[in-house]
Amino acid sequence: MSKPVAIVTGAGSGIGEAVATHLYTQKGYKVVVADLNTTTGEKVASTLGPDATFIQTDVSSYRSQAQLFKKAYEWGGGRLDFFHANAGIDDRQSLYDEEDKEELDEDGLLKKLNTKTMEVNLEAVIQGLWLFKYYVRRSKEAGGGKGKFVATSSAAGLYHMPQCPQYTASKYGVIGFCRASGPEFLKENITVNAICPAFIPTNLCPPEILKLWPKEHITPLSTVNKAIDAFLADDKLTGQAVELSQENIYFRKQVEYPNESQKWVGEKSNEIWDVGYQAPPKREGY
Ligand SMILES: NC(=O)c1ccc[n+]([C@@H]2O[C@H](COP(=O)([O-])OP(=O)(O)OC[C@H]3O[C@@H](n4cnc5c(N)ncnc54)[C@H](O)[C@@H]3O)[C@@H](O)[C@H]2O)c1
């Protein structure tokens, strides 16, 4: 039987590199190293060995990510089994920019804030699951048909990071997306989960921070792979946000309901929502 096939985005460095290496060396996967950075991506793939390949990808472009999936599926012999939507960046323009950085366009309108962070950290995750489902459905003949989808959120998706409000919003979004879609995707034999790492020293962090950060508050890369192993071990574990801190992984619950009415809305109203969305109203103009 052919080997299972994994794609890891942002695998040229840090967390993605660690997961790609774990899947390749410990779990018997063929691995596609997907990254924007050709130099680091090619290096990781060639270090792993012949059952790894590098595909240059910009996950913020739907077309680029769709090409990644098609190439990876063909390279893997007609199957895809694991997708880690991991590539991420911090805020590319500060919401708090000083007055002298505010620019107007030719019509005197304030120029749009650069929201690349949302495209890379959240939009690409959503499109990634959309693409993954398509290929998992078409993997049965080659021995696949079961999928593991993992997205990298952050502890900033559970708490917040005032320096990077877009980053925070994107990572909250990833958790909400995985919690909402995870249980539904069991029908597709796909589990959908998010990891929420605490501080792991990688190239994402500004170098000054790496110098200042106390050692006792560092989470090792090995903790990421503990979460990956938990997802691999259980085909029913889905819709989870798993916080990674120091040596431990914590399955985090959503916030508590403030009263019985909200508990009813949260737990019992789905049948009513289902009726509404079976025949969604035609909405004109938007
Ligand atoms: N390091 C931490 O402390 C920490 C904590 C919580 C969450 N995270 C998240 O972990 C993920 C991985 O980050 P990391 O810490 O390993 O950082 P990293 O900078 O070491 O790795 C990120 C990789 O993503 C790639 N990348 C960036 N934009 C891309 C794009 N548009 N398309 C494809 N690849 C792209 C980069 O080239 C890089 O190789 C990110 O989503 C990050 O937000 C990191």
Say if 95 falls within a structural domain.
Answer: yes
115-147 pLDDT, tens per residue?
999 999 999 999 999 999 999 999 999 999 999
Rounded to 5°, angle at Cα 34 from 219 and 141: 110
C-beta 7 within 6 A of ligand 1: no
For residue 77, being part of any structural domain is answered with yes
Compute the distance from residue 69 Cα to the ligand 1 centre, in Å. 19
Domain membership of residue 16 (yes or no) is yes
CATH number at residue 185: 3.40.50.720
User: Is residue 166 lining ligand 1, measured as CB closer than 6 Å?
Assistant: no
Q: Whose CA is nearest to atom 17 of ligand 1?
A: 204
In a domain, 171, yes or no: yes
Residue 36: domain span: 5-258
Is the pLDDT at 148 greater than 80, yes or no?
yes
In a domain? residue 283: no
Give the Å distance between the CA of 119 and the centre of ligand 1: 13
Ligand 1 nearest atom to the CA of residue 171, by list position: 43
In a domain, 55, yes or no: yes
User: What is the CB neighbour count within 10 angstroms for residue 68?
Assistant: 23
Residue 90 Cα to ligand 1 middle (Å): 9
Segment 20-72, tens digit of pLDDT:
999 999 999 999 999 999 999 999 999 999 999 999 999 999 999 999 999 99
How far from 97 is each of 39, 128, 163, 165, CA to CA, in Å? Answer: 33, 32, 11, 13
| CB 199, CB 210: distance < 8 Å | no
